[in-house]
Amino acid sequence: MRILVTGGCGYIGSHTAVELLNAGYEVVIVDNFYNSQPNVVDKIKTITQKDFAFYEEDCCDEKAMRKIFSEQKIDAVIHFAGYKAVGESVEKPLAYYRNNIDSTLVLLSVMKEFGCRKFVFSSSATVYGDPASLPIKEDFPLSTTNPYGTTKLFIERILTDIAYAEKDLSVALLRYFNPIGAHESALLGESPNDIPNNLMPYIMKVATKQLPILNIFGDDYDTPDGTGVRDYIHVVDLALGHIKALEKLEHETGVLIYNLGTGKGYSVLDLVKTCERVNHVEVPYQIVGRRPGDIAACYADPTKAKEELGWTAEKGIEEMCRDSYNFVIKNI
Ligand code: UD1
């Protein structure tokens, strides 16, 4: 099977490309390097010792997508490419709607033209908004609080409508919790160019003294230590979830929805302390006000993915913290 991985040089896309190649799939990557580095192509080849086709193109460019599909016999698409910064999406909603939704529509129309009928979408637990209870199950009500999250929710709805109309289409909506960690080779990981928005990249900048102090956004939440609780998942476990979803799509049509999380919640302070302990570093922090739009706690009920896909996250929080740090110190 040949899989088109859009955004395959990005953080989650690159780890998934590695696991696909390791599992014996043929891979075609398309990436425009908007938020990724060209050297990731060679790093994936180094890790896997396998070759694959790469296209530097924008997924909104229909002509370019058509060229890829005419040159490669694509059996399934895993769509990672997209803008993902929450704050920026509030400033530039038009850019977010254009890019994230257009790219998906272009891919779906080209897939239809070329008879490619399997689509795995990179969704997010952000579609659950502020959940009424925990852990979060797939049938919880959906809502969003920012344009980034709304693009994910709209795309889920678009895919659901198209799968209803086109009965031969198979779609997996994978709702990620909080991916952290890096490849054990330390060749792939998350390396934001600017000041990071997300917690783990920020902790890493502080641990390596590139930034002086971590701001913890609130210690007065209704959680065990007052700081926000999230379901952190190792990016390699997350990548493996995509392989399981693809296997499932071989035999099913319609829309399948899965939470990809560990089911365990850790607080901001848990993560800071674990990073300090396992990496023998200091992460100075100060408590500041809550970040607008943040929720107290969010973690998955991963039972459906376990029962239907045979997938569970294996790697623990210590390994996540170690792998994140190893990647960062080797790539400063
Ligand atoms: C954020 C996004 C979410 C997106 C996800 C993945 C917001 C409100 N939500 O989720 O839509 O899908 O990233 O990219 O941005 N924290 C600090 N200090 C920091 C950074 C974070 O204390 O410098 C805290 C947060 O308050 C939160 C936890 O760390 O309690 C995790 O934050 P983050 O990594 O940004 O993830 P989410 O907020 O879960």
Domains in the chain with CATH codes = 2-180+233-261 (3.40.50.720)
pLDDT of 77-105, one tens digit each? 999 999 999 999 999 999 999 999 999 99
Residue 111 is predicted with a pLDDT of 98
Residue 194 is predicted with a pLDDT of 83
Which mutation among 128, 156, 180, 198 tests ligand 1's pocket best, with the greatest number of atoms within 8 A of CB?
Answer: 198
Tokens of 122: 């990179």
Ligand 1 interacting residues, C-beta cut-off 6 A: 84, 86, 124, 126, 148-149, 178, 197-199, 202, 214-217, 228, 230, 268, 291, 293-294
Per-residue pLDDT at 210 exceeds 90: yes
Residue 175 is predicted with a pLDDT of 98
**What is the pLDDT confidence band of residue 261, given thresholds at 50, 70 and 90?**
very high
Per-residue pLDDT at 5 exceeds 80: yes
Which mutation among 268, 269, 317, 324 tests ligand 1's pocket best, with the greatest number of atoms within 8 A of CB?
Answer: 268
Largest alpha-carbon pair distance within the chain?
56
Per-residue pLDDT at 301 exceeds 80: yes
Average pLDDT (293-309) is 97
Residue 173 is predicted with a pLDDT of 99
Residue 63 is predicted with a pLDDT of 98
Per-residue pLDDT at 36 exceeds 90: yes
User: In Å, how far are 174, 232, 242, 263, 304 from 312, measured between CA atoms?
Assistant: 14, 13, 12, 10, 10
Peptide bond into 141 cis (omega under 30): no
Tokens of 69: 């599909």
Average pLDDT (290-316) is 97
**What is the pLDDT confidence band of residue 193, given thresholds at 50, 70 and 90?**
confident
Catalytic residue among 148, 258, 266, 299: 148
Distance of CA 198 from the midpoint of ligand 1 (Å) = 5
The SS3 of residue 317 is helix
The SS3 of residue 222 is coil
The SS3 of residue 53 is strand
Residue 256 is predicted with a pLDDT of 98
Residue 191 is predicted with a pLDDT of 80
pLDDT of 128-187, one tens digit each? 999 999 999 999 999 999 999 999 999 999 999 999 999 999 999 999 999 999 999 999
**Closest Cα to atom 20, ligand 1: which residue?**
199
Mean pLDDT computed over every residue of the chain:
97
**What is the pLDDT confidence band of residue 107, given thresholds at 50, 70 and 90?**
very high
**Closest Cα to atom 30, ligand 1: which residue?**
228
Query: Angle of helix 199-207 relative to helix 268-279, nearest 10 degrees?
Result: 40
